Structure 1
Amino acid sequence: MTNYFDLSGQTAIVTGCSTGLGVQMANALASQGANIVALARRKQLIDEVAADIASKHNVKAIGVACDITDTAAVEAAVQTVMDEFGRIDILINNAGTGAVAPAEDITDAQFENEMQIDLFGTFRMAREVAKQAMIPVGYGRIINIASMYGLVGNKIAPASPYHAAKGGVVNLTRALASEWGDKGITVNAICPGYFYTPLTQETLDSDFFQQYAKQMIPEARYGKEGELDSAAIFLAAPASTYVNGVILPVDGGYTAM
């Protein structure tokens, strides 16, 4: 029987892989045999994540500390991975942040920070991984984690910098897919809906937000742990050769309304 999702022997970098969705997706790829690089700023956390993944899935996993707003740090981190594994087959650009405030109160610093992490950080990682690892061998899978808020506005939680940055990630995905498609590299984006993370826990637990979710999400609930995994595995798979430039909402139908 053909396993269309076998990632054995491949190396995957997952950014923002110290907590939350990044850790979940790293475990998902490891469950299919991929070796994992957990990349984030907090060294102790990513080392713990890597050790847990290696133990659970019998793959090689390491933590690499990196601030994706620092170009030199990104270049060095990618070189570290190449020195360790000799290849990078999959990149999941998951690192992100989110400033929530009325647009009229958002500061320049907040807007700049959002762009530096969510948009420019995604580009820095994609650029360096493509340059060092993927273009030379004519193969790669880049998966950018945008947001359903990169596709629509919202009235419940004002977050204009986040909308702008994630909207940028959506069209950056299309641009890179167009540019690198003939180099054997596919570039796609996942647009998650409401999932529990350390950044969203307090908001999603509030009574008013839960009532809003029941009205606005066709499935009438938040995303559960693991419900991004199949999308990540699908887009990372060698068999998904002709899937390129796709923007895939995983949002319980939120953006269908």
Structure 2
Amino acid sequence: MSTQKVVIITGASQGIGAGLVNAYRRLGYAVVANSRSIKPGEDPDVVAVAGDIADPATADALVEAALERFGRVDSLVNNAGVFTAKPFTEFTPRDYQDNVGINLGGFFHLTQRVIARMLDQGSGGHIVNVTTTLVESANSDIPSVLASLTKGGLAAATKSLAIEYAARGIRVNAVSPGFIDTPIQGGATPEQLAQLHPNKRTGTVDDVARGVVYLEQSPLVTGEFLHIDGGLSAGR
């Protein structure tokens, strides 16, 4: 088995996910990168696997790609997600299906397969779930119950998995971003996003990537939620 560590990153074609691919490459990791629209690049240590993360077959393909190309899986970042903001009574059955399928189903199918592989390898591992500060700090101006329902589920699962697998060397953590300047923000300017944070600072992809790298390099940290939100989780 190769000694180069390998990470699987979902939602990796833009925004936070693309930033995470670059951050892990700087750490020397090989990367298996996924999104529905991702295209192969020139870096031989980055394998692109296109597919809908809500489909269990995509989870199989990601783990198989990691093993066939690199021979192992050491880390997983569950970054892929959808964010639908609208009044609760206006959510449609399709909104519900998409949020649950991607935010929860994608996490479940892939994490289950990755942990099974980590246990077979016997060398531990690390999983990071990307949630949202809105789970803990709701905002009536941004009604998003489906985000709270699904990303809140990830938050609860983070602690549960951290404890279930702590004695077997698998760490599970979460980052909880605030309003980050990415395409998912729907055209909001950096200045507008900054006003949503108590410290009036715009959140960047690099802010989130630094947080994930900190967790990756901190062997005593598990079951932790790292808030990258300009103080939102602390109050207003």
Q: Calculate the TM-score normalised by the size of structure 1.
A: 0.85
Residue 3 (structure 1) aligns with? none
Q: d(CA) in 2 for partners of 1:129 and 1:106?
A: 32
Letter in 2 for 1:251: D
| Closer, same or farther: CA 43–252 of 1 in aligned 2, 3 Å | closer
Letter in 1 for 2:119: I
Residue 232 (structure 2) aligns with? 254
Q: d(CA) in 1 for partners of 2:190 and 2:111?
A: 36
C-alpha deviation, 1:73, in angstroms: 2.5
Q: Does 1:95 find its partner at 2:80? A: yes
For the Cα contact (< 8 Å) 2:77–2:130, is it kept in 1? Answer: yes
| Closer, same or farther: CA 206–145 of 1 in aligned 2, 3 Å | closer
Task: Please list every run of 5 or more consecutive structure 1 residues that lacks an aligned counterpart in the other structure.
Answer: 1-7
Q: Does 1:137 find its partner at 2:121? A: yes
Residue 55 (structure 2) aligns with? 70
For the Cα contact (< 8 Å) 1:192–1:249, is it kept in 2? Answer: yes
Once the two structures are superposed, the pairs formed by residues 209-248 of structure 1 within 5 Å of their partners are 210=192, 213-214=194-195, 216-237=196-217, 240-248=218-226
Q: d(CA) in 1 for partners of 2:214 and 2:157?
A: 20
Q: d(CA) in 2 for partners of 1:43 and 1:250?
A: 26
1:36-79, Cα deviation, whole Å (9 max, x unpaired): 111111142xx13xx3xx3xxxx711111222111123113211
For the Cα contact (< 8 Å) 1:150–1:165, is it kept in 2? Answer: no
Task: Please list every run of 5 or more consecutive structure 2 residues that lacks an aligned counterpart in the other structure.
Answer: none
What SS does the corresponding residue of 1:144 show, helix, strand or coil? strand
Q: d(CA) in 1 for partners of 2:7 and 2:24?
A: 8
C-alpha deviation, 1:206, in angstroms: 9.2
CA RMSD of aligned residues (A): 1.8
Residue 108 (structure 1) aligns with? 93
Once the two structures are superposed, the pairs formed by residues 42-191 of structure 1 within 5 Å of their partners are 42-44=37-39, 47-48=40-41, 51=42, 54=43, 60-132=45-117, 134-138=118-122, 139-191=124-176
What SS does the corresponding residue of 2:230 show, helix, strand or coil? coil
C-alpha deviation, 1:213, in angstroms: 4.8
C-alpha deviation, 1:230, in angstroms: 1.6
Q: d(CA) in 2 for partners of 1:10 and 1:217?
A: 35
Q: d(CA) in 2 for partners of 1:37 and 1:80?
A: 7
Q: Does 1:198 find its partner at 2:201? A: no
Q: d(CA) in 2 for partners of 1:184 and 1:137?
A: 11
1:158-217, Cα deviation, whole Å (9 max, x unpaired): 111111111111001111111111111000000011011211041x2298xx2x853x52
Q: d(CA) in 2 for partners of 1:31 and 1:178?
A: 30
Q: Percent identity of the aligned residues?
A: 31
Q: How many corresponding residue pairs?
A: 232
Letter in 1 for 2:223: G
Letter in 2 for 1:160: V
Letter in 2 for 1:167: G
Letter in 2 for 1:245: G
For the Cα contact (< 8 Å) 1:190–1:231, is it kept in 2? Answer: yes
For the Cα contact (< 8 Å) 1:191–1:248, is it kept in 2? Answer: yes
Q: Does 1:40 find its partner at 2:20? A: no
Q: Does 1:16 find its partner at 2:11? A: yes
Q: d(CA) in 2 for partners of 1:229 and 1:69?
A: 24
